[in-house]
Amino acid sequence: MITLLLLVAAIVGCLVVMRREAGALPAVAVLAVLGVLGLVLDAEIIGVLLLIAAAGIAICGLKPLRRLWLSPRLFKVFKKIAPKVSETERVALDAGTVAWDGELFSGRPDWKRLLAFDNPGLSDEEQAFIDHQCAVAAGMCNAWEIARERADMPPELWDYLKKERFFGMIIPKAYGGLEFSAKAQSAVLQKLAFNETLMSTVGVPNSLGPGELLLKYGTEEQKNHYLPRLADGRDIPCFALTGPRAGSDATSIPDVGIVCRGMHEGKEVLGLKLTFEKRWITLAPIATVVGLAFRMFDPDNLLERGESDIGISCALIPRETEGMQIGRRHHPIGSPFMNGPIRGKDVFIPLDYLIGGLEMAGQGWRMLVECLSVGRCITLPSGAAGTGRYAVGWTGGFARIRRQFNIAVADMEGVQEPLARLAAKAYISQAAVMQTANTIDHGVKPAVPSAILKSQLTEFQREMMIDAMDVHGGRTVTLGPRNYLGIGFSATPVSITVEGANIMTRNLMIFGQGAIRCHPYVLDELAAKDSNDFAAFDKLFFRHTGLIFGNAARAFTQALGLGRAEVPFDSLAKPYAQEVARLSSAFGLCADAAMASLGAKLKQREMISARLGDVLSNLYLLSMVLKQWHDSDRVDGEAALFHYSCRFLLNRAEQALVELYENLPNRALAHLLAGITMPLGRRWHKPQDSLTRDIAKAISTDTALRHKLTRNTWDSWEEGQQENPLARYNALLANAERAETIYRTLAKARAKRELPEAALHPEQWIEAGLEAGLLSEEDAVFMRAHEAEVLDMLTVDDFDFDAFTSQQPSANHERQTHTTPA
Ligand SMILES: Cc1cc2nc3c(=O)[nH]c(=O)nc-3n(C[C@H](O)[C@H](O)[C@H](O)COP(=O)(O)OP(=O)(O)OC[C@H]3O[C@@H](n4cnc5c(N)ncnc54)[C@H](O)[C@@H]3O)c2cc1C
């Protein structure tokens, strides 16, 4: 009995010391005291074992002892196995800052740090711009005309965008820009996601490109010249990095600039002779100024730097520069935004064209990566969140007015599943992008979250579009001016591919960058290795060991429901925040285990790295949902969506861990990790059907939740604007309850054969119902108008036989048209 008590006391004592990462000394003290107690109480065996354990920990863990024998050996091994960080990777690692992503890596997230990012919302000026200018711009878009007839936006829309400085959202007011907060930029792009060509066209100049590069690195002269011109659209920029040989591996660009003398504006000056071939460059066909990334060489040492290969550099080149071949177009799938190749051979530019001047020559990669951390958080994730909100509005509306088998398809469980999934992804996307933008407004430059948001939200975008299309059935399969979804659906691969293709971002970047950048110790350990600083290594390594034991103890005890984390949330959110804390410990432990067991090979084991990245991504997204829940006013029915979203993300995080355990090459380690982090198995299953039903109902009826999800979208309509399907659905839903009652009355009457058998159309039922005294005249008037509007919303386009061909119809088809009865 005493033996058992001592054993339990030793385990509990060690777990408490480990959870607190209190170091070796308290552990030694606990075991030594219990060991002596064992000897005193005649439990010699356990007493001796505990004393041996205490001695073992003392020798390995106490600083004076371990430095004598253990640390030097470990330092030697570490130097051998630690991954080499290439220059490209180092630049990427140095870019941006670490905030909440670092907390998740620590295994004991401090929620106060997240909640400290207070959210004052949008300024009046920003909100007014979103309410008015964005609505006007969206109202000028006819998707069919833009995509199929014009392959461009109409000139009056271009003029409006320039006049209202949509291209200058990131440019300070001092230079004539709008100087919007990151949140406002995101809200603008979400609203413009009504049309993907509009969203991309406005998004790109406000993201990574000449504007941002000039703001951060430009010389005063460059800023004074270009920024006012970019802000009001006199200059349209593009940025050219990608070429036929360099896509994802962008640092391998073969485009060169050779330092030489040449003629510029009638004078001989020092400059660069550029030879380049770029493709897929957004806005290139109409750009007036081209940001170009190239490799700079000075073979004749004209710059007197004593180096020939200066490195990647960026220049800003006017379109009319002699030798620029620009103006041809690519045709991006679904959305014909301006995109095309740029080529040039021996194009001479003066050194003044280098962004930031000669001082920034060779710093191009660092400049690009630093800008990417902010721009990548905003443009594509906002497009995804906005697309999701429109998809909720349109799909919820359609599912309510489309009736089959005598009921609205929104009331069929099979349809409710995609509806709820869609709503949850839109809700999560909106929380993630707005809360991350809020951290940017507080000065954070979120490098790892930018990769998470880019890949996860554009993936959601694709899935949301698939769900929306499925629910709409043939209504959006059929292309034409009435189809508000199909063109956007076909454009989703663009977001998946640009700004870091998703497969690479998920597999390589999120965890690969995060493991070193966000880990509390790894980056410093590598620095200690590089500077051969033994004392620093010893200190960091043993703190790191403490973290590993701490994470193991926290993950294990919390999985058993013991010692749950203290979290500053209300009773609804608390269990989810506690689960984020638990899984963050599990994630931290697994990340260290994977790095230790695979070492430098982890870089190649991308499937392992991707799963770790998935755990981190889902925990990050969930934290943003919790922050939004904490900050914002809630509406009726939102709790169901909140529960659904949290469970959906926790289920995905656990799934990624399970797959990690199933595939970690070191099987013993995999079983150990599974035993520590999931001793009772998985905790989170997919959201329950009851939540699915509640959410589907809420987004397909006129509810506060539907309005919240579609807030700040274009949902109004004014004379002269293009059709607004969301406004029409909203109007129909406002009447849906009254219509439903009448549908039911008529359906009952038909079932009882109280209406003539020949009355097959709803329009005929209405007239028959009026005649039979089942409907009042007022109801009939209402219902006629309602049915006419429903039918119009369900109608698809048809075209002349030869409307799609620019060639003459073939003889065979001609014959067929002649024989088709009129
Ligand atoms: C419509 C459009 C607009 C664009 N706009 C611009 C622009 O304005 N300026 C500009 O400079 N560029 C632009 N791009 C280029 C874009 O950023 C690149 O297309 C993108 O980075 C991917 O390069 P890639 O298509 O050559 O894919 P590839 O590099 O050929 O990759 C093929 C596949 O392999 C995967 N892959 C590659 N490396 C890895 C890895 N290490 N691990 C796992 N998977 C990997 C990728 O994820 C991808 O799925 C645009 C592209 C398109 C299509």
The pLDDT tens digits of the residues spanning 277-307 come to 999 999 999 999 999 999 999 999 999 999 9
The Å distance, Cα 328 to ligand 1 centre, comes to 20
pLDDT value at position 517?
Answer: 87
Contact 252, 196 (CB under 8 A): no
Substitution site in 504, 506, 605 for ligand 1 pocket (most atoms within 8 Å of beta carbon): 504
The Å distance, Cα 383 to ligand 1 centre, comes to 18
Question: Which among 333, 385, 387, 336 has a CA at the least distance from the CA of 197?
Answer: 336
Q: How many whole angstroms separate alpha carbon 17 and alpha carbon 14? A: 5
Q: pLDDT digits over 208-252, tens only?
A: 789 999 999 999 999 999 999 999 999 999 999 999 999 999 999
Share of the chain above pLDDT 90, in %: 90
Q: pLDDT digits over 718-746, tens only?
A: 999 999 999 999 999 999 999 999 999 99
Active site residues: 499
Using the predicted structure, report yes or no on whether residue 806 has a pLDDT greater than 80.
Answer: no
Using the predicted structure, report yes or no on whether residue 813 has a pLDDT greater than 90.
Answer: no
Average pLDDT over residues 333-347: 96
Local confidence band at 96 (pLDDT 50, 70, 90 cut-offs): confident
Q: Which residue has the CA at smallest separation from atom 26 of ligand 1?
A: 247
State the DSSP code for 97. Answer: B
Output the average pLDDT for the chain: 94
Using the predicted structure, report yes or no on whether residue 84 has a pLDDT greater than 80.
Answer: no
Average pLDDT over residues 47-57: 95
Q: pLDDT digits over 109-150, tens only?
A: 999 999 999 999 999 999 999 999 999 999 999 999 999 999
- The lowest-confidence range among 347-351, 435-439, 509-513, 625-629 is 509-513
Q: Which residue has the CA at smallest separation from atom 39 of ligand 1?
A: 504
Q: pLDDT digits over 409-435, tens only?
A: 999 999 999 999 999 999 999 999 999
The Å distance, Cα 267 to ligand 1 centre, comes to 40
Using the predicted structure, report yes or no on whether residue 343 has a pLDDT greater than 90.
Answer: yes
Q: Torsions phi, psi of 356, nearest 5?
A: 85, 0
Contact 434, 440 (CB under 8 A): no
Q: Is the CB of 252 under 6 A from ligand 1?
A: no
Q: Is the CB of 197 under 6 A from ligand 1?
A: no
Residue in the structure block whose two tokens are 């949301």: 464
Q: Is the CB of 465 under 6 A from ligand 1?
A: no
Q: Which atom of ligand 1 is nearest to the CA of 240?
A: 11
Contact 517, 93 (CB under 8 A): yes
Strand pairing report for 256-264 and 289-297: parallel
Q: Which atom of ligand 1 is nearest to the CA of 503?
A: 47
Q: pLDDT digits over 620-656, tens only?
A: 999 999 999 999 899 999 999 999 999 999 999 999 9
Question: Which among 271, 308, 278, 309 has a CA at the least distance from the CA of 293?
Answer: 278
Local confidence band at 818 (pLDDT 50, 70, 90 cut-offs): very low
pLDDT value at position 820?
Answer: 41
pLDDT value at position 821?
Answer: 41
Q: Is the CB of 498 under 6 A from ligand 1?
A: yes
Q: Torsions phi, psi of 354, nearest 5?
A: -65, 130
The Å distance, Cα 468 to ligand 1 centre, comes to 27
Q: Which residue has the CA at smallest separation from atom 32 of ligand 1?
A: 248
Using the predicted structure, report yes or no on whether residue 810 has a pLDDT greater than 70.
Answer: no
Q: Is the CB of 287 under 6 A from ligand 1?
A: no
pLDDT value at position 432?
Answer: 98
Contact 94, 366 (CB under 8 A): yes
pLDDT value at position 812?
Answer: 55
Q: How many residues does the chain have?
A: 822
Using the predicted structure, report yes or no on whether residue 817 has a pLDDT greater than 90.
Answer: no
Q: pLDDT digits over 554-608, tens only?
A: 999 999 999 999 999 999 999 999 999 999 999 999 999 999 999 888 989 999 9
The Å distance, Cα 280 to ligand 1 centre, comes to 10
Higher pLDDT, 270 or 810: 270
Local confidence band at 440 (pLDDT 50, 70, 90 cut-offs): very high
Using the predicted structure, report yes or no on whether residue 1 has a pLDDT greater than 90.
Answer: no
Q: Is the CB of 453 under 6 A from ligand 1?
A: no
Q: Is the CB of 496 under 6 A from ligand 1?
A: no
The Å distance, Cα 243 to ligand 1 centre, comes to 10
Q: Is the CB of 282 under 6 A from ligand 1?
A: yes
pLDDT value at position 811?
Answer: 55
Q: How many whole angstroms separate alpha carbon 199 and alpha carbon 197? A: 5
